[in-house]
Structure 1
Amino acid sequence: MTGVRGPGADGGATVVTRAIEELTRLGGFFALVPVGPGNPPPGLRSFAELYERPGLLGARIESARQRYGAVEPRVCASVVHLGFAARLVSPSLAAACAGVVLELPPASLFWQDAPDASVSSRIAAPRGVEVDPADAAGVADLLRGPLVEHHLRPLGAAVRSGVKVSERLLWGNAASAVGGAVQMLSRLRPEWADRADAIGTALIGRGPTASLGSVVRPDTAGPHRFFVRRSCCLYYRLPGGGLCGDCALLDPATRLGQWRAAMAERPL
């Protein structure tokens, strides 16, 4: 690809450190906290374990089932999957907008293993390659290895090994995680809106997420982006769940009203 700038004389440490600092400032699902060398702090498990030991995911899904009550296992599986997918996609896309494609070895990426804990992400010895965010297609191609193949694909396989749930639904969740990250970045960092849109659109436009959703810009005079998915995560089946903002089941008038309300809000 033409947009790779290379690691530089310091092996990429400076640009990666800056990108991690940017993720910290963004907070929320974008945050990716470095951990020191050696054994991770108590309560953390690697994503490699998550993919290789289905019982870990099964415990998270069972915890969700107990919290929500009498709900189909596939509904809880989808909710848990979407939470993990968002924690993987958000820092990856934001770092790419900052000019770095992060390496995310599953054995070096960690999550908090506690029944009621959020899926917070930690990383040991963060590394990456500097890229030109303007080369959206090239950046998306670089992201497919560390994000799609090393994480989203084994994550979906691990979920489906324990619960009967549609593979297309899970890839729709992955596309939704990308779209959600684009939407949040367009609000948090409006100067990144165009690059987030372009990289996110290129990322989901090929492979298993192709045709499962699209980024939308209702007002070309503003930075706000939204996402419309073409499948359903089943959240509406939870007690009091309702329809998600990007749900395929929303009628156009309701969706447009939600977009207008969001665009009228003060910047975060």
Structure 2
Amino acid sequence: MTTGPVTGAEDVPRDRALSDADTAELIDDVDALGGFFSLSTTLPDTPDLYSFARLYATPALVDARIETVRRRHEPAEARVAASIMFLGLAARLVSPALAAACRGALVELPATSLYRCGSQTGPERLHLAEARATVLDPSDPATAAAGLRRTVVEEHLRPLVAAVRGRVRVAERLLWGNAASAVGGAVWMLSRRWPRQADTAEAIADALIGSGPMAGLGTVEHPFPARPERFFARRSCCLFYRAPRGDMCGDCSLLDRAELAARWRAELAAS
């Protein structure tokens, strides 16, 4: 599958289902990006596999995931661990969905059919039991964002916010700021790995965070027009700086614009 809209996407209704073969090819292309984009359509045979629906409904699973993060950053406060945990899962949910949207497809991610392994840490591969996708027009960012709002924000991020806040006292605005940062991080990676999709990724992301619970919590930036890379500037804090060995993130709201630009230049130089 080429780095462009699904073949013929401009000629068909947006609700047309992709064939199984095209859906599999699309997911393989997204999965090949690695990291937060990793998505498999094969369920591993492991006893600690559970669906996201089960995660959202099971306090013990939420506690276990927060505790895993807390131990990694010990002695981090509970709310710091909860914030880091949320940001990691949000990035894993947002990234493959946005990548697929940039390629002209809306992948369905039912919480009952999307799985993770409880023992897995670090960048992990999510597993989708039923691979279904429909055609969308990536040149229509508002419609693409509306699709992502349904499949990611309402299906996953909203129940994840509720599940985390049900276990730890952490501000709702902080968590939605983390969600916006996850969108921005996905745009950054896509603009690097799929530079021809950089404009599309930015436009869809702007529409996605321009309204709803992420509105006003950050902006996608294109500070170096000669390069395709986009960055993100937050307007809320994730608290990572309060973790032992923590630091200010590359999109940190505590940094002024000059400091952010310096970090972005350094990141480009390092890459």
2:213 alignment partner in structure 1: 208
TM alignment of 1:17-36, pairs within 5 A? 17-35=24-42
2:14 alignment partner in structure 1: 5
Query: For residues 39 and 167 of structure 2, what CA distance do their matches in structure 1 show?
Result: 28
Determine if contact 1:29/1:90 at 8 Å carries over to the other structure.
yes
- Greater CA deviation, 192-201 or 11-20? 11-20
2:177 alignment partner in structure 1: 172
Determine if contact 1:15/1:100 at 8 Å carries over to the other structure.
no
Could you report, residue by residue, the CA deviation over 1:4-34 in whole angstroms, capped at 9, with x for unpaired residues? 53435xx532332221011122111111111
RMSD of equivalent CA atoms: 1.8
Q: Out of 127, 131, 139, which is 2:136 matched to? A: 131
TM-score (ref. length: structure 1): 0.92
Count of residue pairs the alignment pairs up: 261
Tell me, yes or no, if structure 1 residue 92 matches structure 2 residue 122: no
**Once the 2 structures are TM-superposed, how far is the Cα of residue 68 of structure 1 from its aligned partner?**
2.0
Determine if contact 1:4/1:132 at 8 Å carries over to the other structure.
no
**Once the 2 structures are TM-superposed, how far is the Cα of residue 250 of structure 1 from its aligned partner?**
1.3
Query: For residues 155 and 228 of structure 1, what CA distance do their matches in structure 2 show?
Result: 23
**Once the 2 structures are TM-superposed, how far is the Cα of residue 214 of structure 1 from its aligned partner?**
0.3
TM alignment of 1:187-266, pairs within 5 A? 187-266=192-271
TM-score (ref. length: structure 2): 0.91
Query: For residues 207 and 88 of structure 1, what CA distance do their matches in structure 2 show?
Result: 17
Query: For residues 45 and 203 of structure 2, what CA distance do their matches in structure 1 show?
Result: 35
Determine if contact 1:173/1:233 at 8 Å carries over to the other structure.
yes
Could you report, residue by residue, the CA deviation over 1:185-238 in whole angstroms, capped at 9, with x for unpaired residues? 000110010000000111011100000000000022221100001001000001
Determine if contact 1:15/1:130 at 8 Å carries over to the other structure.
no
Q: Which AA in structure 2 matches 1:7?
A: R
1:121 alignment partner in structure 2: 126
- Greater CA deviation, 123-132 or 85-94? 123-132
Could you report, residue by residue, the CA deviation over 1:31-72 in whole angstroms, capped at 9, with x for unpaired residues? 111125xx9643211000110102101111122222322221
Determine if contact 2:42/2:127 at 8 Å carries over to the other structure.
yes
> Are residues 110 and 134 of structure 1, via their aligned partners in 2, closer, same or farther at CA, if it must alter by over 3 Å?
same
Query: For residues 78 and 193 of structure 2, what CA distance do their matches in structure 1 show?
Result: 35
Q: Out of 56, 81, 87, which is 1:82 matched to? A: 87
Q: Unaligned 5+ residue runs, structure 2? A: 1-9
- Greater CA deviation, 65-74 or 223-232? 65-74
**Once the 2 structures are TM-superposed, how far is the Cα of residue 117 of structure 1 from its aligned partner?**
5.8
Percent identical among aligned pairs is 51
Query: For residues 62 and 170 of structure 2, what CA distance do their matches in structure 1 show?
Result: 14
> Are residues 250 and 239 of structure 1, via their aligned partners in 2, closer, same or farther at CA, if it must alter by over 3 Å?
same
Q: Out of 23, 32, 37, which is 1:16 matched to? A: 23
Query: For residues 197 and 233 of structure 1, what CA distance do their matches in structure 2 show?
Result: 22
Tell me, yes or no, if structure 1 residue 44 matches structure 2 residue 49: yes
